[in-house]
Structure 1
Amino acid sequence: MTQTRILRYGHQDFQLLEKNTRYQGFFKLDQYKVTHKRFDGSESEVLTREVFERDDAVVLIPYDPVSDSVVLIEQFRPGAIRAGDTPWMLEFIAGMFKQGESPVEVAIREAKEEANLTIAPASVSNVMKYLSSPGGMSEAMYVYLALIDSSTAGGVHGLDEEGEDILVHVVKRQQALELLKQGKIANAATVIGLQWLALNYQAFQSS
């Protein structure tokens, strides 16, 4: 049986013919006209697609290996209104890049702003990079884990100038996974982060 090669095409196998901005506000909407190589070797027709241009962001999993707990934040999210459940989301700490910042610098800054956590750079490790919704959005998410002491975590935080009102929770890892199972955690980055932690937490407990 012939094995099909996975991810056979790359950047040289498509052409971006046009890119025009259709909306510019807090975020941007661009219209792309592209062609790409098809799996039978032929060229596709010209495809017109709108892409929500959202800058890249960093997600931080704050994990306390001593108490086997994670820090979750709770905040209002307007994009969750249409889903019909509560628009207050349980999430990991996250934020977008500022000019010249590295992913680790974003993680450390956002941890302080959103949860009043002081994170040492040496405690931060890379988990993964993934695309949020590549069918129509350009955002890439950089996921990191930070080893923390959660004993003093709590309270309400966030930046007034950004309209943030963020409640901090310290949750046992197993409880967080149960909330995930119950559908109480519906933020994609947090779902992905918790599932990764469920597979890898023991490596950090022994470190």
Structure 2
Amino acid sequence: MSERDGIDQLADREANVILSPPETIGRGFMAYERYEVSLRRDGEPPLLQQRDVLRASKVAAVIPVDLARDAVVLIRQFRLPAHLATGRGDMVEIVAGRVDPHETATEAARRECIEEIGVAPDRVVELYSVLPTPGITDEQIVFFVGHVDSSSVLQRAGLAEEDEDTEPFVVSIEDALAALDRGAFANALLVSAMQWLALNRARLQEYFSRAA
């Protein structure tokens, strides 16, 4: 195997697949759809599957950082699925929300900061994206780092028309990374964001300089 083959083996790629039209089997805040899948592999008969998908679309997630105070802004918010899974539904999170059809992910990142912590970042830099649960939903999370003045963060925030209630708070980056190390929180977006912050803390000024 060549080095190029090894690199390609580690990358996601397009699938040779035929999908049926979606059958809507449930609809609430999001649609729940069923597909008949025919997955083709070279030299093998098609693999037939039935798969259900929660259509959740794209989400912008933001790590709001205050360089002057060496701090990060997090939020606390109740999540029913977490309560059902672990009994600890009062979760620590980063700013995040769905990208509306009329806006870009960057625009959504700025808007969500205003809604969830009460502060608009003066600089926003796109970092990376992940599919947190590709076995059940098409939700794609696009991560950003945003530069904020944490002295202006609200005590309570959230969008009233969405029954959203967030409790923003400011902590030192050191304390946030220590909490990551001891497994204090379970929200996957926060864990991923804090891992990125741990790897790139020394380069934050460089990231923000790109957006200046």
Deviation per residue, 1:127-157 (Å, 9 max, x gap): 1111121111111111111112223324111
Flag as ranges the 4+ runs of structure 1 deviating above 3 A: 1-5
Cα distance in 2 between the residues matched to 1:111 and 1:8: 31
Runs of 5+ unmatched residues, structure 1: none
Structure 1 length-normalised TM: 0.90
Contact 2:78–2:91 (Cα < 8 Å) also in 1: yes
Deviation per residue, 1:14-37 (Å, 9 max, x gap): 111342111112111111111223
Give how far 1:164 is off.
Answer: 1.6
What is the 5 A alignment of 1:158-177? 158-177=158-177
Higher alpha-carbon deviation: 104-113 or 62-71: 62-71
Give the equivalent residue in structure 1 for 2:64. Answer: 62
Matched, 1:15 2:18: yes
Higher alpha-carbon deviation: 81-90 or 101-110: 81-90
Q: Which amino acid aligns with 1:106?
A: A
Cα distance in 2 between the residues matched to 1:74 and 1:139: 22
Deviation per residue, 1:177-200 (Å, 9 max, x gap): 222233322111111111011111
Q: Which amino acid aligns with 2:27?
A: Q
The share of aligned pairs that are identical, in percent, is 33
Question: Quick one: structure 1 residues 64 and 43, their matched pair in 2 at CA, closer, same or farther if it must change by over 3 Å?
Answer: farther
Contact 1:154–1:170 (Cα < 8 Å) also in 2: no
Question: Quick one: structure 1 residues 144 and 8, their matched pair in 2 at CA, closer, same or farther if it must change by over 3 Å?
Answer: closer
Q: Which amino acid aligns with 2:52?
A: E
Q: Which amino acid aligns with 2:98?
A: M
Give the equivalent residue in structure 2 for 1:145. Answer: 145
What is the 5 A alignment of 1:39-54? 41-54=43-56
Structure 2 length-normalised TM: 0.88
Contact 1:81–1:87 (Cα < 8 Å) also in 2: yes
Runs of 5+ unmatched residues, structure 2: none
Cα distance in 2 between the residues matched to 1:205 and 1:30: 44
Question: Quick one: structure 1 residues 20 and 170, their matched pair in 2 at CA, closer, same or farther if it must change by over 3 Å?
Answer: same
Contact 1:35–1:43 (Cα < 8 Å) also in 2: no
Cα distance in 1 between the residues matched to 2:142 and 2:53: 20
Q: Which amino acid aligns with 1:10?
A: E
Q: Which amino acid aligns with 1:74?
A: R
Contact 1:35–1:45 (Cα < 8 Å) also in 2: yes
Contact 2:119–2:149 (Cα < 8 Å) also in 1: no
